[in-house]
Amino acid sequence: MAFLSVLSVKWKNTEEKHDTGLKIGSLFDGIGVFPLAAPRYGIIPTWASEIEKAPVSITKRHFPTMLHLGDITKIDGGEIPPVHIITLS
Protein backbone atom coordinates (compact mmCIF):
# COMPACT_ATOMS: atom_id res chain seq x y z
CA MET A 1 0.00 0.00 0.00
CA ALA A 2 2.82 2.45 0.84
CA PHE A 3 4.38 1.79 -2.58
CA LEU A 4 1.21 2.94 -4.33
CA SER A 5 1.01 6.09 -2.24
CA VAL A 6 4.56 7.02 -3.29
CA LEU A 7 3.53 6.84 -6.95
CA SER A 8 0.56 9.13 -6.41
CA VAL A 9 2.57 11.92 -4.75
CA LYS A 10 3.31 14.96 -6.91
CA TRP A 11 7.01 15.57 -6.49
CA LYS A 12 8.64 18.94 -6.86
CA ASN A 13 11.38 18.38 -9.43
CA THR A 14 13.20 21.68 -9.06
CA GLU A 15 16.12 22.52 -6.85
CA GLU A 16 15.10 23.82 -3.46
CA LYS A 17 16.45 26.96 -1.80
CA HIS A 18 18.96 25.00 0.29
CA ASP A 19 20.94 23.79 -2.73
CA THR A 20 23.87 21.70 -1.48
CA GLY A 21 25.67 21.62 -4.82
CA LEU A 22 25.69 17.82 -4.59
CA LYS A 23 24.80 15.76 -7.66
CA ILE A 24 23.32 12.26 -7.77
CA GLY A 25 23.54 9.45 -10.32
CA SER A 26 21.29 6.40 -10.11
CA LEU A 27 22.13 2.89 -11.36
CA PHE A 28 19.38 0.29 -11.83
CA ASP A 29 17.12 3.31 -11.40
CA GLY A 30 13.68 1.68 -11.59
CA ILE A 31 11.04 4.40 -11.20
CA GLY A 32 13.64 6.87 -9.95
CA VAL A 33 12.89 6.98 -6.24
CA PHE A 34 16.31 8.39 -5.33
CA PRO A 35 16.23 11.12 -8.02
CA LEU A 36 12.67 11.97 -6.97
CA ALA A 37 13.67 12.45 -3.34
CA ALA A 38 17.01 14.19 -3.98
CA PRO A 39 15.76 17.74 -4.77
CA ARG A 40 13.92 17.83 -1.44
CA TYR A 41 17.38 17.78 0.16
CA GLY A 42 19.08 20.15 -2.27
CA ILE A 43 20.66 17.36 -4.36
CA ILE A 44 20.60 17.61 -8.16
CA PRO A 45 19.58 14.49 -10.15
CA THR A 46 22.18 14.29 -12.93
CA TRP A 47 21.87 10.91 -14.64
CA ALA A 48 20.23 7.50 -14.37
CA SER A 49 20.74 4.05 -15.84
CA GLU A 50 17.68 1.87 -16.48
CA ILE A 51 16.66 -0.39 -19.38
CA GLU A 52 12.95 -0.95 -18.74
CA LYS A 53 10.79 1.43 -20.83
CA ALA A 54 7.99 2.04 -18.30
CA PRO A 55 10.24 3.16 -15.42
CA VAL A 56 12.33 5.32 -17.78
CA SER A 57 9.16 7.09 -18.95
CA ILE A 58 8.34 7.95 -15.32
CA THR A 59 11.73 9.51 -14.61
CA LYS A 60 11.72 11.33 -17.97
CA ARG A 61 8.37 12.86 -17.06
CA HIS A 62 9.69 14.11 -13.70
CA PHE A 63 13.17 15.05 -14.96
CA PRO A 64 13.12 15.76 -18.70
CA THR A 65 16.65 17.21 -18.66
CA MET A 66 18.24 14.38 -16.65
CA LEU A 67 20.64 12.26 -18.71
CA HIS A 68 19.36 8.69 -19.26
CA LEU A 69 22.25 6.30 -19.88
CA GLY A 70 20.37 3.09 -20.67
CA ASP A 71 22.13 -0.28 -20.37
CA ILE A 72 24.76 -0.26 -17.62
CA THR A 73 26.93 -2.73 -19.56
CA LYS A 74 27.36 -0.15 -22.31
CA ILE A 75 28.31 2.82 -20.10
CA ASP A 76 31.85 4.21 -20.17
CA GLY A 77 32.36 5.78 -16.75
CA GLY A 78 34.86 8.25 -18.17
CA GLU A 79 32.23 9.72 -20.48
CA ILE A 80 29.44 10.49 -18.00
CA PRO A 81 29.16 13.62 -15.85
CA PRO A 82 30.75 13.22 -12.40
CA VAL A 83 28.45 13.01 -9.38
CA HIS A 84 28.95 13.05 -5.62
CA ILE A 85 26.44 10.28 -4.85
CA ILE A 86 25.76 7.05 -6.76
CA THR A 87 22.72 5.02 -5.77
CA LEU A 88 21.74 1.46 -6.65
CA SER A 89 18.19 0.23 -6.36
- Residue 14 covered by a domain: no
- Residue 5 covered by a domain: no
pLDDT per residue over 72-88, tens digit each? 999 999 999 999 999 99
pLDDT per residue over 1-46, tens digit each? 444 444 444 545 554 457 789 999 999 999 999 999 999 999 999 9
- pTM summary value: 0.76
Please tell me the total count of domains within the chain: 1
The enclosing domain of 69 has a CATH number of 3.40.50.150
| CB contact set of 44 (below 8 Å; sequence gap of 6+) | 15, 19, 21, 22, 23, 24, 38
- Residue 13 covered by a domain: no
pLDDT per residue over 39-76, tens digit each? 999 999 999 999 999 999 999 999 999 999 999 999 99
Range of the domain at 78: 19-88
pLDDT for 17: 53
Helix (H, G, I), strand (E, B) or coil at 4: helix
